[in-house]
Amino acid sequence: VLMLSVSVTSPLSLLSDLLPPGVCNLLNPAAIYANNEISLADVEIYGFDYDYTLAQYSNLLHSMIFNTARDILIEQFKYPERLGKYDYIPGFAIRGLHYDVQKSLLMKIDAFHYVQLGTAYRGLKPVPDEEVIELYGGTQHIPLYQMSDFYGKGPSLKQFMDIFSLPEMTLLSSVIDYFINHGIEFDQVHLYKDISDAIRDVHVKGVMYKWIEKDMERYILHGDEIYAVLNRLVNHKKKLFLITNSPFSFVDKGMKHMVGKNWRDLFDMVIVQADKPNFFTDRRKPFRKLDDKGSLQWDKINQLEKGKIYKEGNLFDFLRLTGWRGSKVLYFGDHLYSDLADLMLRHGWRTGAIVPELETEIRIINTEQYMHSLTWQQALTGLLERMQMYQDAESKQVLLEWMKERQEIRSLTKNLFNPQFGSIFRTFHNPTYFSRRLVRFSDIYMASISCLLNYDVNFTFYPRRTPLQHEAPLWMDQLCTGCMKTPFLEEMVHIR
């Protein structure tokens, strides 16, 4: 016990042993990461979503969506005028959170359906861990029947999966905060629906489109890189298509801004107002052709012509008319459910997820502060596992101190990403529910489409072989210089 207490009081000296020189800055924010082996040499056809895939938007858009939806609540739904004092809070929420409508809880759930304690919020304030556990019948676990829907939601759970949902979560939390602070009773279901409808109106009524069209320099990012990506693919004889839920006039102006007035010459197929994810699952809507001004044509579609614009339709007709099937097609999108899930699981296309948050998270992972916190946390966890059999009074006290320090480091590490909810990819140690879906529904993922420029068009992506639990019996402190001094290591070496 004396030896253990000495070790834990000098973490910095141990960290110098645990961390090899140059271990920070190993990850490249502009890299493409593989969940599944894929060779671009086999890909003949590239498909793209538009919003947050080809067109990446500035975060300035979030406050405008928040403000407009807030005003809709006040003016059209007659919510209290004093809600107008609430402004958008950048960095309050993260993508992938779940919202329990009946309990008014916004929370992060891991891959095993457990709520990460410390990340459950009602309004703008955290809910104590004890209350969260009591609300779910004495456990942190969300029952499967509540989360068994294919798209990650159940009878009373909504998962916020797209980037546009950040202002929606913040508005939801702000309104609940107002009601709680003023002692106003509210119906949870009506509140959730009203806010969803207000946010939807910002999109459906075209308000957001007008903002972006008025000031594309301000709102659209990395436009020149998009032209470089598309042009290079076409020069290498790849076929390109676009499937988006946005209207043609909006897409046309955005693509002219990023790519040039002849952007349609790069694409073999352009489909707008596709109504994804129904486009991928519903056979009922036929394609309709638009003229160059965006007006609907009435004639029956028997072929999809290069350079023409089509509206609605469905994937089954798309496959029949193009013959583009299987792994020779690679489709990119930002929404794991609406864009990627059906294509991978039901149709065998290869898929690429656009995750803009990846760039920021990797920069945090590359910092010394993160690396030190994580390394020391892992070392403490390993010590706790191996020393837990010592139950004399002095040993118990040391173990309690280690557990307390471990919890403090876990919270510190979480706060590096987001003070409320942490990383979108991990809870304290498990993958998040979002991360689990990212691995399941995408072959590769990256921060932006422009990452393709860093790779040859015939490049093969190989996923790293990450060890399964039974393949990695040693903790980090057992792998360091001088680690043979660690108790039981000699015995554990023989296990392998």
Q: Which residues are catalytic?
A: 49, 51
211 and 61 Cβ atoms separated by less than 8 Å: yes
317 labelled as ligand-binding?
A: no
Whole-angstrom Cα distance, residue 284 to residue 299? 17
- C-alpha neighbours within 13 Å on the C-beta side of residue 493: 10
Whether 341 and 441 have beta carbons less than 8 Å apart is answered as: yes
List of residues 6+ apart from 231 with CB closer than 8 A? 266
Residue 51 marked in a binding site: yes
Distances, alpha carbon 393 to alpha carbons 3, 56, 396, in Å:
16, 58, 5
49 labelled ligand-binding: yes
The span from the CA of 188 to the CA of 185, in Å, is: 9
Q: Can you tell me which residue has the tokens 């990650």?
A: 152
- The Cβ-side half-sphere exposure at 139, using a 13 Å CA radius, reads 8
CA 156 to the chain's CA centroid: 21
Question: Which one-letter amino acid corresponds to residue 13?
Answer: S
Distance CA 247, CA 274 (A): 9
Written as six digits, the tokens of 441 are: 């529904």
The alpha carbon of residue 481 and the mean position of all alpha carbons in its chain are separated, in whole angstroms, by 37
d(CA 17, CA 477) in angstroms, rounded, equals 9
Q: For residue 297, give the DSSP letter.
A: P
Amino acid at 295: S
- Residue ranges of the annotated binding site for Mg(2+) are 49, 334
- Residue ranges of the annotated binding site for GMP are 51
- Residue ranges of the annotated binding site are 49, 51, 334
